[in-house]
Amino acid sequence: NKQVTLKHYVSGFPKESDMSVVTSSISLKIPQGSKDTVLLKNIYLSCDPYMRGRMSKSDIPSFVAPFQPGSPLNGYGVAKVVNSTHPNYEKGDLVWGFTGWEEYSLVTSPELLIKIQHTDVPLSYYTGILGMPGMTAYAGFYEVCSPKKGEHVYVSAASGAVGQLVGQFAKLVGCYVVGSAGSKEKVDLLTSKFGFDGAFNYKEEPDLDAALKRYFPEGIDIYYENVGGKMLDAVLLNMRLRGRIAVCGMISQYNLEKPEGVHNLMQVVGKRIRMEGFLAGDYYHLYSKYLDMILPFIKEGKMKYLEDVAEGIESAPAALVGLFSGKNVGKQLVVVDGK
Ligand code: NDP
């Protein structure tokens, strides 16, 4: 059973060498007498930015526990049930949810798994558009931002797993939407593939405030926040009265020893901005409603979705680390066994 383990807690930018790919000789059988246990064969692993927080031990409270050095990482994935003593799962079932970064996983809390009912779409989509990032985009945009037709929407990290979906949701509602990303290739994708009205490379903008003023001369109604730091500061200056900011994540801060200060927070008061953090997991009760909306769009080609696929579990450490330098173009996932 090949596994990706964390070697030690990490400070600063994570490196491939902070993880090891090892072969463990654990039994691939459900121990006798174990109730409610599922043995999974992992098919796809999802690389997600929040996993960086789990690679460090900190005194600051977090919504997830750190990984254990020497143990396999865990996270979202797509898997096939090989064996089960849980009444809801049987051999052959396909699931997405929490699993280990390894070829096979024994899952003792299968309540964190969701059975896959629709297999007429690519199975890998359950790491992204049909999984946690999809729910993140959906809940963050529709539930947290309450968008209205004609509103002006800005999305950062816009070509990634979540951002590419938020931009397309904004167009479905009839909003004007601009995204930013970190390379020419990504910026081109935003307008040519995902239908954003405008896009810019934030790395080539010495003055983010000026860049936002160029794209939003009348201001921003909704900011879908994925990066934090200097970007958030510039956005605050450009928000409109009663604007909404859905705080999905702040990836620019994840590798800093000391987070950057935000200087323009007073804008929230004068402009009556509603700024709300959220976790996708708070909204899983809406999952079937989301599927009802998104599956027809996927099948009719109304939603575009781009994946960046790394082959083999050996490539998982590099794929995960790549999120923090923007190496991924679209949703980063790892194929453990695509057969
Ligand atoms: P992406 O697919 O967007 O991958 C991460 C991207 O972030 C990179 O490709 C890179 O794109 C960008 N990035 C990396 N470092 C920086 C930096 N220093 N400054 C600006 N951009 C940077 O990831 P996801 O779509 O999965 O996640 C997007 C955000 O959503 C993250 O903040 C994540 O933590 C958050 N999230 C929150 C969830 C929730 O429940 N609240 C659930 C899932 C995700 P580029 O080349 O454009 O810089």
Q: Please report, for the domain that includes residue 247, its CATH number.
A: 3.40.50.720
In a shared domain, residues 136 and 119: no
Is there a contact between 202 and 180 (Cβ–Cβ < 8 Å)? yes
286 part of a folded domain: no
Hey, is 151 helix, strand or coil?
coil
Distance of alpha carbon 199 from alpha carbon 158, whole angstroms: 9
Q: What is the pLDDT of residue 13?
A: 97
Indicate the helix (H) or strand (E) that contains 25.
none
The domain boundary, picked from 245, 265, 281, lies at 281
Ligand 1 binding site (Cβ under 6 Å of any ligand atom): 48-50, 133, 136, 157, 159-163, 181-183, 186, 226-227, 248-252, 278-280, 323-324, 326, 328, 331
245 part of a folded domain: yes
In a shared domain, residues 162 and 25: no
Ligand 1 atom with least separation from CA of 329: 9
In a shared domain, residues 198 and 231: yes
Nearest to 221 by CA among 175, 180, 181: 175
In a shared domain, residues 88 and 106: yes
Is there a contact between 71 and 6 (Cβ–Cβ < 8 Å)? yes
Q: How confident is the model at residue 109 (pLDDT cuts 50, 70, 90)?
A: confident
The pTM (predicted TM-score) of the whole model is 0.97
In a shared domain, residues 155 and 251: yes
Q: Which of 55, 154, 162 to mutate to test the pocket of ligand 1 (most atoms within 8 A of CB)?
A: 162
In a shared domain, residues 142 and 23: no
pLDDT for 198-241, tens place per residue? 999 999 999 999 999 999 999 999 999 999 999 999 999 999 99
pLDDT at 282 over 70: yes
In a shared domain, residues 277 and 138: yes
Is there a contact between 5 and 71 (Cβ–Cβ < 8 Å)? yes
What's the number of domains the chain is made of?
2
In a shared domain, residues 243 and 162: yes
The domain boundary, picked from 281, 298, 322, lies at 281
pLDDT at 32 over 90: no
Range of the domain at 196: 132-281
Nearest to 164 by CA among 184, 136, 142: 136
Distance of alpha carbon 309 from alpha carbon 197, whole angstroms: 27
Is there a contact between 135 and 162 (Cβ–Cβ < 8 Å)? no
In a shared domain, residues 120 and 173: no
Neighbours of 308 (CB within 10 A): 17
In a shared domain, residues 272 and 251: yes
pLDDT at 189 over 80: yes
Q: Percent of the chain at pLDDT above 70?
A: 99
What integer best gives the mean pLDDT of the chain?
96
301 part of a folded domain: no
- Using CA atoms, how far residue 277 sits from 15, 139, 140, 248, 308, in Å, is 28, 11, 9, 6, 27
Q: What is the pLDDT of residue 339?
A: 60
In a shared domain, residues 28 and 102: yes
298 part of a folded domain: no
Kindly provide the residue ranges of all beta strands, DSSP E only, lying in 27-71, ordered along the sequence.
38-46
In a shared domain, residues 92 and 227: no
Sole residue written with tokens 């098919």 = 43
Nearest to 113 by CA among 136, 140, 90, 138: 90
Q: Which of 223, 247, 251 to mutate to test the pocket of ligand 1 (most atoms within 8 A of CB)?
A: 251
225 part of a folded domain: yes
Nearest to 335 by CA among 310, 314, 318: 310
Q: For residue 329, what is the domain's CATH number?
A: 3.90.180.10
